[in-house]
């Protein structure tokens, strides 16, 4: 085994353990920002009547990009404030853990953009997105506070329950409900977890 590789991994694990409380606190504004973006996007999609499958996918791709950029700005600002590198070894580990599931979700959505306006496929895509995102969070949870693993499972189970609901009531579902469902799940779960982190950290500080 390469000694440098082993030493780097040991240092990464030690850093993650030592700073778990700091990372937990830093997650609160990121989660609340992402949750807010998701909830607003659900309302905008509803009122803007983005009623084609292609517009739905492109719209939520844009929402994901906006949430990612916003999170990047928040994390970057925190790194500068704490005089720490943004793209550190722990950050790379987290990104590498999340990348496979996020990449699958991106490719699945991208393929459906070129398939055409198939509403049934969108109803299948939403639970898939939720489950894959949950899997990405769960993978990141091995390098972050354990609450991320729990949140990952919440996304996975939400996706599975949504899939069961779609199978059971698919004939009565209207396509316009896709945006509120995405906003409620993606935005609501993030916001709830962010508020939880913020209040628990405040209580711990007292």
DSSP state of 49: T
Instruction: Give the whole-angstrom CA distance, residue 51 versus residue 186.
Output: 19
Tell me how far the alpha carbon of residue 185 is from its chain's centroid. 10
What's the token pair of residue 180? 């509120």
Instruction: Give the whole-angstrom CA distance, residue 187 versus residue 35.
Output: 4
> What are the pLDDT tens digits along the chain (206 aa)?
455 655 555 555 455 444 444 455 578 888 999 999 999 999 999 888 777 888 899 999 999 999 989 888 887 777 667 666 666 666 777 888 899 999 999 999 999 888 766 777 888 899 999 999 999 999 988 777 678 899 999 999 999 999 999 888 877 778 888 999 999 999 999 999 999 888 876 555 43
**pTM of the predicted model as reported, rounded to 2 decimal places:** 0.83
Three-class SS string for 60-123?
HHHHHHHHHHHHHHHHHHHHHHCCCCCCCHHHHHHHHHHHHHHHHHHHHHHHHHHHCCCHHHHH
Using CA atoms, how far residue 98 sits from 54, 64, 71, 93, in Å, is 25, 14, 15, 9
Instruction: Give the whole-angstrom CA distance, residue 177 versus residue 144.
Output: 34
The pLDDT of residue 1: 47
The pLDDT of residue 147: 83
């Amino acid at each position: 085994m390469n000694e440098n590789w082993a030493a780097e991994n040991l240092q990464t694990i030690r850093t993650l353990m030592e700073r778990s409380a700091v990372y937990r606190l830093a997650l609160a504004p990121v989660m609340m920002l992402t949750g807010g973006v998701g909830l607003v996007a659900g309302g905008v999609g509803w009122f803007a009547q983005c009623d084609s499958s292609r517009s739905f996918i492109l719209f939520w791709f844009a929402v994901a990009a906006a949430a990612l950029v916003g999170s990047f700005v928040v994390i970057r600002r925190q790194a500068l404030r704490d005089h720490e590198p943004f793209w550190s070894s722990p950050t790379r580990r987290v990104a590498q853990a999340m990348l496979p599931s996020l990449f699958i979700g991106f490719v699945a959505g991208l393929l459906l953009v070129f398939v055409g306006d198939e509403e049934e496929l969108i109803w299948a895509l939403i639970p898939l997105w939720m489950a894959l995102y949950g899997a990405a969070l769960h993978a990141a949870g091995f390098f972050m506070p354990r609450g991320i693993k729990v949140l990952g499972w919440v996304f996975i189970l939400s996706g599975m329950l949504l899939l069961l609901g779609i199978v059971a009531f698919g004939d009565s579902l209207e396509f316009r409900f896709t945006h509120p469902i995405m906003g409620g799940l993606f935005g609501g779960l993030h916001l709830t977890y962010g508020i939880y982190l913020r209040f628990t950290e405040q209580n711990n500080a007292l």
